[in-house]
Structure 1
């Protein structure tokens, strides 16, 4: 390639953790940054320090390591392994000259126009591209970026790898969440419920798939936004005990099924706050089933430490609503007094130190998160203090109902062994809390006696299977109820894996996803596991070695 920009992406470090995750830091390295090729396509970069590099061509729609890394998930094991399969890696010792041939891979592309039913171009609408993640054990729809239509309604997305894709058009609407002009145009660029999927369908599950290969462009991927009626929903929030209106209450909606925005996210278009009379309203909603969340505390993001304002006397409440060919008026919601759980976090063994933080989730029977709490642990000053450590917590603003507990710990050395509530382990069994009740003396036990599963995964051809996801399914049916009881990891380029997990009996499945991603229920997973999985026992502080065969997709 003549007069083309050549750069270097340095892989500074690989951090192989016990959970099989790979992390790296990427930087363009060389004093000159990028260099130009000559008329013969040759180039020279001097003074390159010792390290591992990917040379690449910086040209629009020519795939480069940065775009691949972003496409498959920054710093993930999958993206690192994909880089090895797509690009030539070179090792520099800092002294010798290295000759390298830089391959050029033209990426795939999708382009087309978006128009309304009358043929008018849809100008300035968001176009989102999703890839199918089913082949790598993820949800069917994985976002890979978005763009906007221009003044002709035209859009184009480039630098895509081969795969299966879907296209979504999202028309702008604040759904009435703003009652005045905004100084920032991005306030109106949030995701809305006005969605259309290629070629002109309102439901994601009926979207038409697009197959792409290297250098292929799916031109004329045109989308026509159908005529549809939109409706308004209005209501009022009052206190159940006093029957008085409640102001400054956060009201959030999500579409039931696979089309709606999540409650935990930054999508302001699906949120509104009640006024002084407790009133609220949303507009521009298509027919369908919705789930309404009414929250008395300040709305918190999913990974924010600010979760629940324990001073609030009222509980979060969830209501269902169906819009059928008419506006919904006077949707009355009564907020009950809050329920709560409180207790302490402690180590299973006096020799163990607590992790830096523990996040607890309260989920319903469908594993939907209803509340969360991040408990930060102040690190002890000495060993004597470590042995006496016990961290108190409280999760309030809960509605009466039946819950399971999920738990997350960031490091690989610890796991939550049990959550004792009313004599049961809430990681495995549900518990019920009544309105205005506080369950006290909840004990969260954290342990560091994890075991390790190591080995090699083989494909049907009896060769090592790289880039393969492995899932450890608990053999105990009670443990299957909690997502935190499943452990997963990826094989490296040699098909080898190393996964750290809580002690217990598991079925090992290779080449599958996680619960509630591709399968419909934990029962489906257990059926596959019992029939096709390799059963293993992971012992505390020991390494178990096995070989597994990848399941056919």
Structure 2
């Protein structure tokens, strides 16, 4: 009853505002493809490749094949549907066009996981040929019904434990798998779980995979549904922001806080992706016993001052990059007095630049060597 009264009250307010000549509130909605009136239908079954049994309650979706001059979107593929207990599915209202058929089921490799991410948005004939070698495609020209049966293969799995250096388990820590760099370190790609997070892990040169989970109370993790290939494994430990130095007030009346550090540790116990162990998984392999040790020993502070700094409301940021591992970085906000502080920095050689606030620091960066102790006298010139 209270809810009905509230709806009536809000409705009365809207009518009253409109009668007074005041425009009512508007909400901008992003346009998205809609079901095609009299569109086509895609029907079929999904089967498990290892058991040949129906894939109970598998999720089935259609992904538009890119057309020349487009990014592959804009056509309604019927949305995601759930197969029944016999593995049967029905997708209605599909607009004319060609579509890749994707299936998501825990523990199994989704067809789109087995192809290079770049090929999925490439309209070239060569790219689409590579995709069709591993992913089934359907084409509809109107209101016809098209049948397609899909078989999904059991994926590989990798499992292990994350511990702190004193032996205690690291609980509730996110663990991810990565495809190794293809040509350079900048090409390594996080493989995320489409079924868990509702998105495919896209990246240059990488593949889609099911590759992120959280450790339990024992620090134990298991990631399944991986296509065959080479993988690195990392744990992401979020450290709280340091209590010192105290955040400085900004001209806007707020306070500038440095966020906590995302300490990404690669198996077995390194902060550098270049030093990570690579695990090779064959089709359907189960790789157990991966150990990741999280240690804060040997980590340092890099701090200093940005000369000529003016308070810009905390929009400027100092960024530190490892000269030997482009995957490693640290960053910190510049306080109102120009000071900055970055923590959890291992030994190494780095460059530091300033970004944000409408300015960018020295283009080549300032070199900083961290070896065996903190570096607290860095001076950057704006």
**Aligned in 2, Cα 1:327/1:201: closer, same or farther, shift over 3 Å?**
closer
> In terms of mean alpha carbon deviation, does 55-64 or 115-124 score higher?
55-64
Q: Does 1:270 align with 2:336?
A: no
Residue 275 of structure 2 aligns with which residue?
206
Cα shift at 1:252: 2.3
Residue 179 of structure 2 aligns with which residue?
131
Given that 2:81 and 2:90 are in contact with CA atoms closer than 8 Å, whether structure 1 keeps it comes out as no
* Partner SS state of residue 133, structure 2: helix
Q: Does 1:53 align with 2:99?
A: yes
Structure 1 residue runs without a partner (length 5+): 240-244, 263-268, 299-306, 336-553
Residue 36 of structure 2 aligns with which residue?
none
Given that 2:303 and 2:375 are in contact with CA atoms closer than 8 Å, whether structure 1 keeps it comes out as yes
Number of residue pairs matched by the alignment: 298
Q: Does 1:236 align with 2:305?
A: yes
Given that 1:235 and 1:280 are in contact with CA atoms closer than 8 Å, whether structure 2 keeps it comes out as yes
Cα shift at 1:126: 3.6
Cα shift at 1:119: 1.7
What is the alpha-carbon distance in structure 2 between the residues aligned to residue 237 and residue 111 of structure 1? Answer: 45
Residue 481 of structure 1 aligns with which residue?
none
Residue 169 of structure 2 aligns with which residue?
121
**Aligned in 2, Cα 1:196/1:92: closer, same or farther, shift over 3 Å?**
same
Given that 1:62 and 1:106 are in contact with CA atoms closer than 8 Å, whether structure 2 keeps it comes out as yes
* Partner SS state of residue 270, structure 1: strand
Q: Does 1:34 align with 2:94?
A: no
Given that 1:293 and 1:316 are in contact with CA atoms closer than 8 Å, whether structure 2 keeps it comes out as yes
Residue 252 of structure 1 aligns with which residue?
319
Runs of 4+ in 1 over 6 A off after TM superposition: 314-317
**Aligned in 2, Cα 1:285/1:92: closer, same or farther, shift over 3 Å?**
same
* Partner SS state of residue 121, structure 2: coil
Given that 1:203 and 1:259 are in contact with CA atoms closer than 8 Å, whether structure 2 keeps it comes out as no
Residue 366 of structure 2 aligns with which residue?
319
> In terms of mean alpha carbon deviation, does 285-294 or 168-177 score higher?
168-177
Cα shift at 1:114: 0.7
What is the alpha-carbon distance in structure 1 between the residues aligned to residue 90 and residue 336 of structure 2? Answer: 65
Deviations 1:288-316 (A, max 9, x none): 22211145x61xxxxxxxx648xxxx966
Residue 285 of structure 1 aligns with which residue?
345
TM-score (norm 2): 0.63
What is the alpha-carbon distance in structure 1 between the residues aligned to residue 154 and residue 128 of structure 2? Answer: 20
Q: Does 1:150 align with 2:216?
A: yes
Cα shift at 1:270: 0.9
**Aligned in 2, Cα 1:233/1:80: closer, same or farther, shift over 3 Å?**
same
Deviations 1:23-77 (A, max 9, x none): 312877349x5253354x4455566554323444432232335655795576246
Given that 2:156 and 2:224 are in contact with CA atoms closer than 8 Å, whether structure 1 keeps it comes out as yes
Cα shift at 1:179: 4.9
Cα shift at 1:332: 3.3
Structure 1 segment 461-476 matched on structure 2, within 5 A: none
Deviations 1:182-231 (A, max 9, x none): 9xxxx54x6x4x44322234443232211123333323222223462222
Given that 1:109 and 1:156 are in contact with CA atoms closer than 8 Å, whether structure 2 keeps it comes out as yes
**Aligned in 2, Cα 1:326/1:236: closer, same or farther, shift over 3 Å?**
same
* Partner SS state of residue 86, structure 1: coil
**Greater relative contact order structure (CA < 8 Å, 6+ sep):** 2
Cα shift at 1:89: 1.7
TM-score (norm 1): 0.45
**Aligned in 2, Cα 1:3/1:220: closer, same or farther, shift over 3 Å?**
same
What is the alpha-carbon distance in structure 2 between the residues aligned to residue 334 and residue 326 of structure 1? Answer: 24
**Aligned in 2, Cα 1:149/1:82: closer, same or farther, shift over 3 Å?**
farther
Of residues 57, 63, 67, the one that matches 1:15 is 67
What RMSD over aligned residues (CA atoms) do the two structures have, in Å?
A: 4.1
